[in-house]
Each structure stands twice: as C-alpha cells, then as structure tokens.
Amino acid sequence: MSSQTWAHISNGLVYSTIVVLAVALMAFAADLAVGTGRKRSDLAKQRRSSLARQSVGTSGDTALVAAASPETAAEQRWARVGVSLTGLAAALVVAAVITRGISAQRPPWGNMYEFTLTAVATLLVIWVAMLPKRPEWRDLGVIVVLFNVLLLGVAVLVLYRESAELVPVLKSYWLWIHVTAAIIASSVFTVGSLASVMYLFAERYERRDIAGQTGGVRDAIGSRLPGSDQLDKVAYQTIAFAFPLWFFAVVAGAVWAEDAWGRYWGWDPKETWAFVTLVIYAAYLHARATAGWRGRPAAIIAIIGLAAFLFSYFGVNIFFVGLHSYGGV
Amino acid sequence: MPTDAINALKAADSEAAPSHQPTLGFVGGLRWMWRQLTSMRTALILLFLLALGAVPGSIFPQRGASPLRVGEYLQDHSTAGPWLDRFGLFDVYASSWFAAIYLLLMVSLAGCILPRCIQHGRNLRSVPPATPRNLARMPEHRTFTTDATESEVVDAAEASLRSARFRLRPRTAPGTDASSMAAEKGYLHELGNLVFHVSLLVLLVGVAWGSWFGYHGTVVIVEGDGFANTLTQYDDFVPGRGFSTSMLAPFSFTMDQFDARFLKDGPNRGQPDQYTADVTYRVNLDADPRQQQLQVNKPLNVNGTKVFLLGHGYAPVFTVRDGNGDVAWSGAVPALPQDPSFTSTTVVKVPDAQPEQLGFNVTVTPTPPTQVDPTTGPRSIFPEANDPRVYLGAWAGDLGLDSGVPQNVYQLDSSAMEQLGREDLAVGQTWKLPDGRGSITFDRLAEFANVQVAYDPGRWLVLLAAVAAIIGISLSLLIRRRRVWVRTSVDGQGRTLVDVAGLAQTEWAALAQEVDAVVASLPGAQTAVEEQK
Ligand code: HEM
C-alpha cells in the first residue's frame, strides 16, 4: 500500500476515535448523574466522623471504600460502558499512530500533529491499563475523556500536517528518548492535574456540606465526585511519578540541543516553558510538604502546572518564534 | 502515643515549625531572617518567582538569542521599549533581578539542606525508637493469636525484618521491652532527597563555571575555505567574563566539501533532508590532518571545543575585470537566503576597479524559474543547485567605503553611483559591461556553512549533576521511610496475641503489603488467617 493510503487509514482511525470518545463521554456523564453520587455522599458522611476511620483496623483508604455502601451493578453500568468505549478508543488511536508511522516510514513524532496523536494514545492507554490496579482512577473518566476529545479536536482542526520526512535536526536518536519521556511524563502529569481539578470541586462540596450550605452547580458537580482525599492521593501519586520523568525529558532535550545547536540550554521559548512547568510541579511537591499549603493551594498549583504545560506545548509553537518551531505549527 | 511517633517521623522531613518568637536584638534578628529564608514557605514562594521570572524571556526578544529582533522591537515601541530595557526584559536570564531570585533560592537551598544533611548523618547511625504502646491506632495494623510462644514470634519477626533489610532496634537498647520488635527502613528516601537538592546546587555551579570560562562564536565558511581558531576569524564572538585568548584551542580545519540534500517529492518537497560537511582538521599546527563528516546533530569535537553545523547557503564565485582588463576582484560571496527555496541576495564590491569603482547587486537562484515574474523578480523554484543562475545589477562610481561609516556587507550604497544595466548569467558566462568598464564572470556556485564553535568547560559537571538529580529525586519519590512494629502479649486463654503495625512518612500504598509480608512470616499467622475465613 502506498504512503498516502496508510495516511488516509490513519486519519480515518483518528475520526473514529473522536466519535467513540464522544460516546464514552456521554456514558461517563450518565454515570455521574445516576451512579457515584449516592456512593459519594456516603463517603462524605464517613469522612466527617473521623472516628470511623480509626475504628477500622486496616488502612484508612480501604476502610473508607469498604465502609461505603457498595455500588450496585446497575449503578456501575454506565461507568462500565464508558470504560469499554474508552478502551476501544485507545486501541483505535494506537492503530492511528502506528499507521501514521508506516505512512511516514519513521516513528510518528515529527510534528505537533503527530506528537498530539501519540500523547492522546499514551494517555488513554495508561489510564485504561491502570484501572485494574487503581480502580479509583475510574472516577476520573469523564474529565480524562473530555480532555482527550479536545486534544484530538485541536490536532485535527489546527495542527494537521501531511505525513512526511523529518527535518535534519530531528534526525537524532535523542529525539526518540526525549519525546518518549516527555509524552509519558506529560500524560501522567495531565491525569494528576485533572484529578486536582476534580479535587477542588469535591473539597468545596465537602466543606460546604459540613457547614450545611450546599447549593449551586459547583456543589452539584462536587457532590457526584469521589472523595477529596481520594483525588488528592491520585494527584500526588501521578505527579510524583511524572516529575522525575519530566526532569529526565528536559535533560535529554538538553543533551540533544548540545549536539544540534551547540549549547545545552539557550532559553528558547520551548525550553523556557519546559523549565517553568518543571518548577511549578516542583512547587506542587513542595506545597504537599509545607504546613498550610496542602490540599487546596497544592491542587491549584497542580492546575497551574497543567496550564504551563499546555502552553509550552501549544502556545509556544503558535505564539513565539524559536528553534523548536519546526515541522509546521 | 502514636501521634508522637507520627510527628517524630515527619519532623525529620518537614520544616521545623517556627516555634519560638524572634528574640530581640541584632543577632536575634539575623537569625530570624535566616530561619525565614530557609523555611519551606519561602522556598515555595521563591520557586514560584523563578517560574514567573522566566516567562518574560519567552515573550520579549532576547539580546543573547536575537539582537536584531531586540533592535526592531525598540524601534517599533519607542515609549515602552526603553522602560522594558531598563528592567532587563531583553536580557532576562542575565538580569540582576533574575539572578537575585535564583541566588536567593540557592542560598535558601543551602541553608535548608546543610542542616538536613547533618541530621540525616545522625539518623543513619541512630536506632529506631522503641515500640509505641498502642499499635492499634497506626495506619496499618494486623492482629492475630497463635500457639507459638512470645519469644518465638519475636525471633521470627527479627529474622524476617532483618532479611527484608530493615534496621532493627537492638533488644538490649535501654527501654526496649523484650516482647516487641521495632524496625525502620527507607533511609534512601531522605538520602535521595538530599542528593537531589545538592545536585541542583552543583548544577548551578556547573552552569556558572561554563559561562564564565567558556565562549561561543559563529563563522560563515565557504566550501574550500579554512578556519583557524583565532579571534579575528569569527564573524560573531561571545566570550565568558573569565575568558582569555589562551583558551582558544589552537585547532584549524578546512571545509573540503559541503552537501545539502532536499526532499525531491512528497508534500514537503523542498524541505531540507540532510546537510553534510566534509572537513579536514588539525588539533594544532603540528598535528596530522584528520578527516571528519559534520552533520546537524553530529558536531566535531576537538578536545572539548565543539564545532557545530547550524545552517547553510549559497556563495556565487565571480571574477571581475576592470576597464584595463586586470582582474580587480575574484572570489566567493556568501548570499543571504530569502526564502525556503534559497533565492539569495548579496552584493559584490570592487573598490580597486579602474577607472571607476564597481558594485553589483546579486540575486542567486539555485534552480531558476522558467520565466521571471516581473513583480516579485527572480525566484528560485527549488533549493538545490540545478542549473543555477545569477541576476546582476551593475553600478559604477563611488562605493562610499572611505567615508568612515561602517557599511553592511550585504548592501550597496548606490547614492554616488550610476547604474550600468542588468543581466543574468548561467555558470561560466561573462557579462561585458557597457562603455568598456570591464566584465564579470560567474565561475560557479559554491555553498557556505554557518558554523558555531563552542567551548563550555562546565558542561560535564552540569550533566553529572543532572543525572545525580534524576537518580536522587527518583529514589526520594519511590521510597518511603517507614517503621514496622511487632508486639506480643498473652491473652486470656493463654495464647500469644500478636500485633503488627506499620507507619509510613507519607501515604504509601505498598506499606500494607509490607506489613502483610511480615505477618505472613510469623509462626501461626497462616492458620490465623484461615480461621478468620
Ligand atoms: C532549586 C529549587 C528546588 C527544587 C527544584 C526543589 C524540588 C523539590 C522536589 C521535587 C521535592 C519532592 C521530593 C520529595 O517529595 O521527596 C522536594 C522536596 C523537598 N524540598 Fe525542595 N526543591 C528546591 C528547593 C528547596 C529549598 C530552597 C528547600 C528548603 C527550604 C527545599 C526543601 C525541601 C524539603 C524539606 C523537601 C522534602 C519534602 C517532603 O518531606 O516530602 N527545597 N524539593
């Protein structure tokens, strides 16, 4: 088959992914509407009586999960549909990445469109693959899927480029090392920061619930989310995993820049924003260990981290001129 | 009290709470300021400032990277520009306020890390504290009864914890009760954290070292020409403050051949595919010549000084004869690329021509169009040199070179010159200028390379520190400091009651498994689990 045909197949797979994800999004929304809400309010009551936590002789988290009334199969139905569809979408987008690679006859990481495609594939695969080990990640479904639909939309509408050869500076094995680490790290950062977004809603709801003054859209959302300590934990664990990897990606990029441009660090806009992202997530890890900064402030920092990452990813290529502005957009 | 145990475990890692009020007086004031500076809160705020401070450098053009764009910006923004300049916003990463942020952060870091290193050194030699009384309130707690005796259980716990590489509290330590075992593990967490932070300090030292004693410069080299590493040969040279000319390694090289390949088809037709320069270099004047191929991503490394290929362009080679028939000028002139197809422009200035000085505007098309568009002028249609053509405009008169005003080598000041006409030439063709003013021959189209030479003595230190930082932070984030306790007592029926508990410094999913593993290794635990089922 010709390179063009493979590229067409890849595009078709991307469109299918978007459709499947859109349906998955509806399923997760339905799940929020009918399912977790009830379980969630049980959890909030549990949390309020901290004694409940100590009287159970096992770990705090298992205690909470065990004590909450178990969801019925009917309650889980929509979440299950969502997870299955997301699994299908993950498979489709992985196939899209592979066919794109076959079309270009190289790993498909040559321009922003391809980076984005690979990042979506990585994010979805990581999320689906982690579910058996971390069932609590299922509650992130709605926001993870929403985020990926948006990413794919931007990729198709704004970033799309015909499949083609690499420019000379990208012909380096450091590209594969640097890009692989950056894509995995940023996918995991994204999961963590999205958990922090949900944390803000859940935490607000819990605070107001205790004060007996819930109401409004934000609380309606908050009341249907998992408990804030659960979300906080997901955020911390993911960001703690991604941080060293991101650090590594930045260092690998520097080693590569030293070969390509004759200096390991030149404060090019892309480098600057990778640095800013790193420092903000370092601040998040610090905040988690600083009295008075845990919880809400830390979550806000994690969200700023995601904003900085997104800017370093899209904003820099769109707004600034720099050495990294290769491969179109 | 378990809360005490938790606090003790946490205290080792989190800040010392500013527990007492500042004492009055100068020394007290200083000490108070120092404590503030080295607090976690200050570190957090400084980290924020660092991130924030780095941002303007990506918004405004920077002198280090693109001095030309800074000039343009200043011209376009005549009121705001000078103010931005005053605050160093065109030189963010060399500005005093940016330096203040990272230096304060580094001082805070040193002040925070040194005491913790000492503390950690002590911790390494300390023994785990005695088993707390109430194990039931620990985050992980298991209990079962067994027929084994108390000392059998404690012995088994000791063996299993030791083989899991826990540090044990010696049973002979004062205040240890014989019916319990206390163990601690995960000192690498703290060590990793310290290595990470210390590495950041070392990294900054490496960066500073490199920029102080290093240099970088760029030079345009036409195919066939050579370069010797002396100051005068550079087109642009940026030395560090501690630089002296003795640091210029005495190497030299000639660029034997340069080859640029471009994609010939596909959607990105015309996009560069690979640049290759064949060079012959000598490490010093007396050394044997050696060959190497330079490519983008493949620099030449001469004992730590690196030569990089950054870009390329075309340099037409001309021979100019004057009115007397003498060769007044000959050589290659690098031309500035104007578009991705390498339509390039340059000028030839011939001050020695008789009877009048000559000047030429030159447009180069590596692959000429079949028909020149009259509005855009000649435009190359492909970046490779296939039947190249030059389009010339000839001028005679005074080049203005003696006026003392420095001239742009790529521009002709034709204010005191008269235009002689236009012509276009293929390789080998000659244009006879009107009125017997001479001729110009387009001999061939050579290529030139933009080469950067860089010497950075700090880069190994930087790399080493970065690798150490990555290892350190990984250890720190993967490993948790945790304590495990086993306590035995005799219950009402004369059986041995066993309590096993675990506590990690921060929430840590693997703690439960670790405690379970200890439980499983104790005599009678297996049957206890089955009884429960
Ligand atoms: C150069 C800037 C700095 C960066 C990039 C940085 C980064 C980090 C990171 C990523 C962590 C998380 C590691 C972990 O949780 O084990 C951490 C932890 C820590 N940092 Fe920093 N740090 C910096 C400066 C400082 C300073 C100035 C201080 C002292 C005031 C400090 C004190 C600490 C402490 C005490 C921890 C341990 C927190 C815990 O118990 O988890 N750091 N740092």
**Interface check A256 vs B, CB under 8 A:** yes
Classify strands B336-337 and B344-350 as parallel, antiparallel or unpaired: antiparallel
pLDDT at position A31 = 80
CA B136 from centroid of its chain's CA atoms: 51
Cα of first residue to Cα of last residue in chain A, in angstroms, is 29
- Ligand 1 lined by B108 (C-beta under 6 Å): yes
pLDDT in tens, B273-297: 778 889 999 998 888 899 988 887 7
User: CA A40, CA A71: separation in Å to the nearest integer?
Assistant: 10
- Residue with the larger pLDDT of the pair B19 and B220: B220
User: CA B460, CA B473: separation in Å to the nearest integer?
Assistant: 20
C-alpha distances in angstroms, A96 versus A93, A100, B268, B499? 5, 6, 21, 55
pLDDT at position B34 = 80
pLDDT at residue B262 is higher than 50: yes
CA A254 from centroid of its chain's CA atoms: 25
Strands (E), B263-356: 272-282, 290-295, 300-302, 305-321, 327-332, 336-337, 344-350
Domain match, B352 and B407 both: yes
pLDDT in tens, A92-130: 999 999 998 888 877 777 778 888 898 899 989 999 998
pLDDT at residue B152 is higher than 50: yes
Classify residue B194: in a domain, yes or no.
no
CA A138 from centroid of its chain's CA atoms: 13
**Interface check A55 vs B, CB under 8 A:** no
pLDDT in tens, B41-87: 888 999 999 999 999 988 888 877 777 778 888 888 888 888 888 88
Q: What is the CA radius of gyration of chain B?
A: 37
DSSP-assigned letters across all residues of A74-133: HHHHHHHHHHHHHHHHHHHHHHHHHHHHHHHTS-S-SSHHHHHHHHHHHHHHHHHHHTTT
Classify strands B290-295 and B272-282 as parallel, antiparallel or unpaired: antiparallel
Domain match, B493 and B399 both: no
Classify residue B205: in a domain, yes or no.
no
- Residue with the larger pLDDT of the pair B465 and A62: B465
pLDDT at residue B162 is higher than 60: yes
Classify residue B364: in a domain, yes or no.
yes
pLDDT at residue B390 is higher than 90: yes
pLDDT at position B415 = 83
User: CA A45, CA B222: separation in Å to the nearest integer?
Assistant: 78
Classify strands B272-282 and B300-302 as parallel, antiparallel or unpaired: unpaired
The CA A119 to ligand 1 mean position distance, Å, reads 29
User: Which residues, 6+ apart, have CB-to-CB distance to B209 below 8 Å?
Assistant: B457, B458, B461
One-letter amino acid of B386? N
For the segment A27-41, the average pLDDT, to the nearest whole number, is 66
User: Which residues, 6+ apart, have CB-to-CB distance to A70 below 8 Å?
Assistant: none
- Ligand 1 lined by B477 (C-beta under 6 Å): yes
pLDDT at position B23 = 52
pLDDT at position B359 = 92
Ligand 1 pocket: which of B35, B109, B197, B207 to mutate (most atoms <8 Å of CB)? B197
Composition of chain A by helix, strand, coil, percent to 5: 80, 0, 20
B/e letters for B7-42, b = 16+ CB within 10 Å, e = fewer, are eebeebbebeeeeeeeeeeeeeeeebeebebbbbbb
- Residue with the larger pLDDT of the pair A73 and A312: A312
Residue B6's pLDDT band, with cuts at 50, 70 and 90, is: very low
DSSP class of residue B366 equals: S
The CA B477 to ligand 1 mean position distance, Å, reads 11
The per-type count for chain A, helices as H runs and strands as E runs, is 13, 0
User: CA A148, CA A77: separation in Å to the nearest integer?
Assistant: 22
Q: What would the two tokens of residue B192 be?
A: 């990793």
User: CA A254, CA A251: separation in Å to the nearest integer?
Assistant: 5
Entry field: residues in chain B:
533
User: CA A226, CA A143: separation in Å to the nearest integer?
Assistant: 13
C-alpha distances in angstroms, B167 versus B123, B185, B481, B483, B509? 11, 6, 11, 9, 21
Chain A environment of B142 (Cβ under 8 Å): 57
User: Which residues, 6+ apart, have CB-to-CB distance to B144 below 8 Å?
Assistant: B497, B498, B519, B524, B525, B528, B529, B532
pLDDT at position A49 = 39
**Interface check A290 vs B, CB under 8 A:** yes
Q: Count contacts between A and B (CB, < 8 Å).
A: 156
Instruction: Provide the CATH number for the domain around residue B156.
Output: 3.30.310.80
C-alpha distances in angstroms, B144 versus B484, B497, B511, B515, B520? 16, 6, 19, 13, 11
Chain A environment of B51 (Cβ under 8 Å): 275-276, 279-280, 283, 308
**Interface check A76 vs B, CB under 8 A:** no
DSSP-assigned letters across all residues of A62-84: HHHHHHSPPPPHHHHHHHHHHHH
Classify residue B17: in a domain, yes or no.
no
Domain match, B321 and B286 both: no
pTM recorded for the entire structure:
0.80
Classify residue B12: in a domain, yes or no.
no
For the segment A252-280, the average pLDDT, to the nearest whole number, is 88
Contact: A240, B477; criterion CB under 8 Å: yes
C-alpha distances in angstroms, A127 versus A87, A89, B201, B261? 9, 12, 36, 43
User: CA A265, CA A32: separation in Å to the nearest integer?
Assistant: 46
DSSP class of residue A36 equals: I
Classify strands B167-168 and B344-350 as parallel, antiparallel or unpaired: unpaired
Residue whose C-alpha is closest to residue B258's, from B454, B450, B452, B443? B450
Domain match, B216 and B258 both: yes
pLDDT at position A55 = 33
B272-282 β-sheet, strand order:
B226-228, B252-262, B272-282, B290-295
| Domain range enclosing B52 | 27-123
Residue of minimum CA distance from atom 17 in ligand 1 = A286
C-alpha distances in angstroms, A94 versus A107, A258, A275, A293, B342? 13, 32, 29, 39, 39
Contact B417, B399 (CB under 8 A): yes
pLDDT in tens, B312-336: 889 999 999 988 888 999 999 989 8
DSSP-assigned letters across all residues of B127-195: PPPPPPS-GGGSSEEEEEEESS-HHHHHHHHHHHHHHTT-EE--TTSTT--TTEEEEEE-HHHHHHHHH
Peptide bond into B355 cis (omega under 30): yes
pLDDT in tens, A222-248: 877 778 888 888 899 899 999 999 999
Pick from A61, A259, A275: CB nearest B297: A259
For the segment B162-168, the average pLDDT, to the nearest whole number, is 89
- How is chain A split into domains, by residue range? 1-160, 167-329
Find the residue in B nearest to A239 (Cα).
Answer: B477
Domain match, B299 and B320 both: no
- Residue with the larger pLDDT of the pair A188 and B5: A188
**What does the mean pLDDT of chain A come to?**
79
Classify residue B38: in a domain, yes or no.
yes
CA B380 from centroid of its chain's CA atoms: 37
Contact B364, B383 (CB under 8 A): no
Domain match, B329 and B438 both: yes
Compute the nearest-CA separation of B260 from chain A (Å). 10
Residue A74's pLDDT band, with cuts at 50, 70 and 90, is: low
Ligand 1 pocket: which of B33, B46, B109, B123 to mutate (most atoms <8 Å of CB)? B109
Domain match, B31 and B44 both: yes
Domain match, B48 and B119 both: yes
pLDDT at position B528 = 61
**Interface check B68 vs A, CB under 8 A:** no
Atom number in ligand 1 closest to CA A288:
41
Domain match, B306 and B326 both: no
Domain match, B162 and B271 both: no
Question: Among the three residues B70, B101, B123, which one is the final residue of a domain in this structure?
Answer: B123
Domain match, B230 and B250 both: yes
Classify residue B303: in a domain, yes or no.
yes
Chain B environment of A263 (Cβ under 8 Å): 216, 454, 456
Contact B186, B481 (CB under 8 A): yes
Domain count for chain B, please give it. Answer: 4
Kindly state the helix (H) or strand (E) to which residue A205 belongs, with its residue range.
helix A173-211
B/e letters for B509-520, b = 16+ CB within 10 Å, e = fewer, are eebbebbbebbe
Domain match, B381 and B423 both: yes
B/e letters for B451-478, b = 16+ CB within 10 Å, e = fewer, are bbbbbbbbbebbbebbebbbebbbbbbb
Question: Among the three residues B457, B492, B515, which one is the final residue of a domain in this structure?
Answer: B457
Residue B260's pLDDT band, with cuts at 50, 70 and 90, is: confident
Handedness of CA B90, B92, B94, B99 (dihedral sign): positive
